[in-house]
A and B are shown apart, each in its own frame.
Chain A
Amino acid sequence: MARIRLLVGTKKGAFIFTADGSRRDWAISGPFFPGWEIYHVKASPVNPDRIYAAQNSPWFGQLIQRSDDGGANFTPVGNDFRYDGVPVTHQSDDGTPQPWAFKRVWHIEPSLTCAETVFAGVEDAALFKSTDAGANWAELSGLRTSGTGSAWQPGAGGLCLHSVILDPVNADRMFIAISAAGAFRTDDAGQSWRPINQGLVSEHIPDPKAEIGHCVHHIAMHPARPNTLFMQKHWDIMRSDNAGDNWFEISGNVPTDFGFVIDVHAHEPETLYVVPIKSDAEHFPLEGKLQVYRSRSGGHEWEALTHGLPQQDCYVNVLRDAMAVDRMDPCGIYFGTTGGQIYGSADAGDHWQTIAQTLPAVLSVEVQTLP
């Protein structure tokens, strides 16, 4: 029977949960790196026992940890994230030019084809690549010098590159998203990039349809349809069917289209999940009811999934990297909250189980489906 491994990053350490394919009984190990902020933990799809963790502290800065035995042991690898010296600036909060300065790793994305290759999205926004399993990192600086970098401004969480999607069909194509610059695509393995924000409308910026400046919260893709992207923007749930060249809104009947996470069912490319959050000022569910919304039609039509989730007095948030789906049939879906809960569903969202109740605030959730 297959096994499931959940990789959870929190404000005070990392945790690993394991279960068999029934996904009923979960064992927990951790905390790994106790006391440290773990923004993201993710495993290589090529070598599932190779797991990376982005470990950060306001005191000690950034570390990257790597396990080669499925999380039993971790070893620090390279933490020298050095911008390549291109003398460009971005906008600071007050509009003045600001030199790029490394702050932290937000997202780790291991290669789909090579166990030694891994990407890291960082703050201040940049994309780094390692071809030796995290020992050394080199910036793909074409992103910052693509022509719009000098106008990028930080979102409330900083100028962070938080989403990295690798095209499973075209190895030269990648998608990334930056708060609050927008989404970008490369078609030449990261040498050059262009903004892909046509169709996004953001009322809180001077030109709502500007080429850049959109606060993209997360992007998701189903591997069987690499030209179709789904986006949870600051406000608005969006869809593109041409690899980001154009976007259109699919918020439909969700009660609020503010939120952070978005994900796609493992076997149904038109089945989507979001967690609506009340507003940009009130980062918690509407009316204190934690509800996942599912669309089985690629957007527009959404249904609330509530069975097993708290339906009163719930005032947590679900952050952008804190939802994941497994590869089982039926598909499992998991998410973590800023209140320290992990919820899982073994039937595509129809019923939910509380996997953990009292963790530190959850920053990220990833899942592995193991043989």
Chain B
Amino acid sequence: MKATIHVELPVSLTALAGCARHLALSVETPVTQSRVIDALEQAYPVLRGTIRSRQAKIRRPFIRFFACQTDISHDPPNAPLPPSVCEGHEMFLIVTAIAGG
């Protein structure tokens, strides 16, 4: 069974992938961070390695995941996302940390 998840990408990645900033991805349930990124990378292979490491699939240090006004970056990658995200009412936000110059 699949759910439609609404995802927002950083602008730099939209330029790289040639896609819109807001995407609707079909994701296997139960929906988790890992499965959202799996679906994103399958749709846009050029994003492999840019959000999480290719091999260990660990979130890159300056990438954050937000949902429902909460930073869920440190939640386990295989933990279910909040119901409002899974039901399509809230976006899963992939955000660049404020850093650099």
Contact = CB atoms under 8 A, between A and B. Distances in A.
B99 A58 contact: yes
Interface residues of B, number: 18
- Please report whether the interface of chain B is mostly helix, strand, loop or mixed according to DSSP: loop
Nearest to B99: A58
B48 interface: yes
Contacts of A82: 54-55
Nearest to A83: B55
A59 B55 contact: no
Contacts of B62: 58-59
A293 to B, nearest CB: 33
B16 interface: yes
Interface string B1-35: 00000000010110010000000000000000000
- Please report whether the interface of chain A is mostly helix, strand, loop or mixed according to DSSP: loop
A350 interface: no
A76 interface: yes
Contact of A60 (B12, B54, B55): B12
B34 to A, nearest CB: 18
A314 B37 CA distance: 48
A60 B99 CA distance: 13
Interface string B46-61: 1011110011000010
29 contacts: A35-B12, A36-B12, A57-B12, A58-B62, A58-B99, A58-B100, A59-B12, A59-B60, A59-B97, A59-B99, A60-B12, A60-B16, A60-B51, A60-B60, A61-B49, A61-B50, A61-B60, A62-B49, A63-B16, A63-B50, A76-B46, A79-B48, A79-B49, A79-B54, A80-B48, A80-B49, A80-B54, A82-B54, A82-B55
Interface of A: 35-36, 57-63, 76, 79-80, 82
